[in-house]
Each structure stands twice: as structure tokens, then as C-alpha cells.
Structure 1
Amino acid sequence: MLFFHPMDFLIIIAFVLSLWAQFRVSSTFNRWSEVKAASGMTGYDAARRMLDRNGLQDIPIEPVPGKLSDHYDPIHRVVRLSEPVYYESSISAISVACHEVGHAIQHSESYPMLVIRHRMFPVVRFASGFAPFLLLAGFLFHFANLIGLGIIFFTAAVAFQLVTLPVEFNASSRARHLMVAEGFIARDEERGVAKVLNAAALTYVAAALISLLELIKYILIFTNSNRD
């Protein structure tokens, strides 16, 4: 029952969606990487200017190896851009760079959902590490208390992913608004920016959906076993 549950059909569909989302973000990034931005700005140029105009001159920007390895580090307060984004002047590069700066701006303004996400992280890191073992042991040895504890721990991980969604969407919204307002992109380039950012957002939605469906599955198995 643990391994073949009716919810697994929905989880498989969500997993396929996740694979498609990962393919789409990669293909969309590649496509718009070939379209040079009319402004001629690189990802670094756009990120630096966006940070400076929001009073964040003290936040450095560092190139990192890899593709789509871009992120904002809230602990060290640094924006890290993958080399294709840092050095290139394309719609994809500017879009991704400004999205990461959006997170830096959220941090500086104490954006509520980001604050919640940061506060949840230590607990979630601990809980997500133990949840699979608790669930597996509980189901194998029929220990209801272990299953219940595993579900509580897994719920924390799911909540973290759900909180991540508005954080990502808000960062993209900030990026799109500022890119146009500051002239980083032209009006006719907004379509490309939207495609790049929306494709990236879909990966977070798919991941959250999978986790949520798995949580529902565990809860259903737990409640049904208690009835038995």
C-alpha cells in the first residue's frame, strides 16, 4: 500500500510535469541567450546597475561556474551569476541577473515571505533530513507514532516549498518592472523576458506540487491504517 497508492498516479503526472519544466527552462534560456539585448548590457551590467539604483552598492556580484547556477546568497549578501549570465549580453542573461537582484532587494526590504523562508530554513533542513527515515521506519514496522512524526517533519519541508513560490514570483515581478523602468530592455523585448522568467518559475511550481501530493499520500495512508 505504501508503494502502490492511488495518489501515485497524480505524483507521476506531477513528476512528468517537473521533467518538462526543467527541459523548458533550459531550452527557453538557450533560445533567448541567442537574442542580444538592444541595450547591449551584460548580465553583470544590469545586475550592478539595478543594485546601485536600489541603494545596494555594498553587495558584490561574483561569477560562478556552471549553467543556471545563479543565486543570491543572503548569508554573505552577494549575488552570484553563472558565467553565461555574468558575461553575456542577451535577454536571458539580463532576465536571470535581474531576478537574482530581486532577491537581494527583497532581503534589504525585509520582504515578509522571504523573512519567513529564512527563519524556516534551519528547521526545514533538519526536518527534511529525518522525514524519509521516519516515514520508512514507521511504515515498515507499523509504528504509528513514527509515521505521524515523519508526516509532521515532511509537512515542514512542503511548507517551505510553498513559501518559496511567492518569493520567486515576487522577485521576477520586481525584475520585470525595473528592467523596463530603467531601460535595461526595450518594450518589444518584454516577451522574451516573460518567457525566461515564467519557465524558471514553473520548475518551483512543479517541485511544490510533487511534495504536496506526496504529503497527501502519506496522510491518507496514515489515516487509513489507523482506521484498520
Structure 2
Amino acid sequence: MILFMLASMAVSWTLKSKFKKYSEIGLRSGLSGREVAEMMLADNNITDVRVISTEGMLTDHYDPTNKTVNLSEGVYASRSAAAAAVAAHECGHAVQHATAYSMLKFRSAMVPALSVTSRYMQWILLIGILMIQTTLIPLAVGVALFALTTLFSFITLPVEFDASRRALVWMDTRGIVTTQEHAMAKDSLKWAAMTYVVAALGSLASLLYYASLLLGGGRRD
């Protein structure tokens, strides 16, 4: 568990470092993150999605509920390879939504259940651990709920990778980035994806830990 915590911190630090470095290098096309996003949406005939600015750093996301591409302050107005990459990536999710990308549909279908699960899962697991010598039912329920969140983490991976692939292909095809800028954009998106990879593996490790407690509790005399 400690190993995954350290890995998560290292990846997060590297992502912020890469983003800061590439944000200081101007995009030769001179386009801002907002302009890149609006161009990608237009090129994919998506007219019902708005591009808006949101507070924070690396808080960029696509919201399918109100159809908005939310770009952080460091991306919305920035004219860098990093900003272009992030903006195009989030639009990649909008394209997935518009084209009914199967993995995104599967992930979205899980969100309502996950919102309830995340609210009670830790408490159920705690109760299960405290009652392990009496009954295994609470812990079994907790493990089942944790398995659902772990599945969600792994389903997120192909969704994120596909959005990055769409972003890079579009930027190359549209001539948004030069060869050097493409390399910077790809590196930025790679480290952003790594945060999801580490999170998924960390979730799996936690799941296996709680499952081992459940199996160990089941071997009482």
C-alpha cells in the first residue's frame, strides 16, 4: 500500500513538472486551449458542447451531464503544447460521447452505483473488520463494493487512452502541432494517463488486501 502511495505521489509530481515545463513553450500555431477545443469540436460536427473555464490546476474534464468541456485556468487561455494536448484530450471525451463509444457508455452506466458505493463502502469495510470474529457478512459486502470501484478504475483506463489517441491524431491531422510539439503533447498525456494506471493498480492492491482478510476470517476454527 505504501508503495502505491509513493508511486502516486511520484507520478503526480512528474505530471505537474512536465505540464509546467511544456506550458512555458509557446505553440507555433499560437492557438489557445479554448481555441483548440472549439476547433476539435467543430471538426467532429459537435455543436451542442460548450467550452468553459474552471478554477484550479489540472482540473480539466468533460461533463456529459451538461455537455461542457471544462478547461482549467492554466489551459483555457494558454497557448502551449501542454494546453493544446489537454484541451484536445477533453474534447476526445466529447467525441466519445457523441459517437457512443462503448467503454464510455459502460463507465457512465456505473456512475450512479459508484456514487452510492463510495459514500458507504469505507464504513462497511470498517464494520466488517471489527466484526470479523463474529460474522463475515459486512466484510463480504464491503469487498464486493470495493470490487465494483476497482472495476470502475480499470474501465476508466481504455476511456482515457482512447481520448488521448483521438487528441493526438486530430492535432497531427489538423496541423495544430509540429513534430517537436507533438512529442511534448504526447508526453504530457502519457503522464496524465499514468495517474489513472497507478490509481487502478492501487485499488486492486487494496481489494486483494481486504479479500485476504475475508478469506482469512473464513478459516476460523
TM class, shorter-chain normalised? Answer: over 0.9
Superposed CA RMSD in Å reads 0.8
The aligned residue for residue 8 of structure 1 is none
Structure 1 alignment gaps of length 5 or more: 1-10
Equivalent residue of 2:30, what SS? coil
Confirm or deny that 1:47 pairs with 2:30. Answer: no
The Cα shift of 1:128 comes to 2.1
Q: Among residues 172, 197, 200, which one is paired with 1:205 in the alignment?
A: 197
- What percent identity do the matched residue pairs reach? 36
The aligned residue for residue 90 of structure 1 is 80
The aligned amino acid for 2:191 is: A
TM-score (norm 1): 0.94
CA offsets, 1:46-76, max 9 Å, x none? 1000000000122110011211111100000
The aligned amino acid for 2:40 is: M
* C-alpha distance in 1 between matches for 2:149 and 2:180: 40
Q: Among residues 92, 102, 111, which one is paired with 2:101 in the alignment?
A: 111
* C-alpha distance in 2 between matches for 1:58 and 1:210: 37
The Cα shift of 1:12 comes to 1.2
Q: Among residues 147, 150, 153, which one is paired with 1:158 in the alignment?
A: 150
* C-alpha distance in 2 between matches for 1:115 and 1:155: 19
Matches of residues 3-152 of structure 1 in structure 2 within 5 Å?
Answer: 11-142=1-132, 143-152=135-144
Larger mean CA deviation between 93-102 and 185-194 belongs to: 185-194
1:130/1:153 contact within 8 Å kept: no
The Cα shift of 1:190 comes to 1.4
- Number of equivalent positions: 218
After superposing on structure 2, the runs of 4+ consecutive aligned residues of structure 1 that deviate more than 2 Å are none
1:128/1:156 contact within 8 Å kept: no
1:72/1:80 contact within 8 Å kept: yes
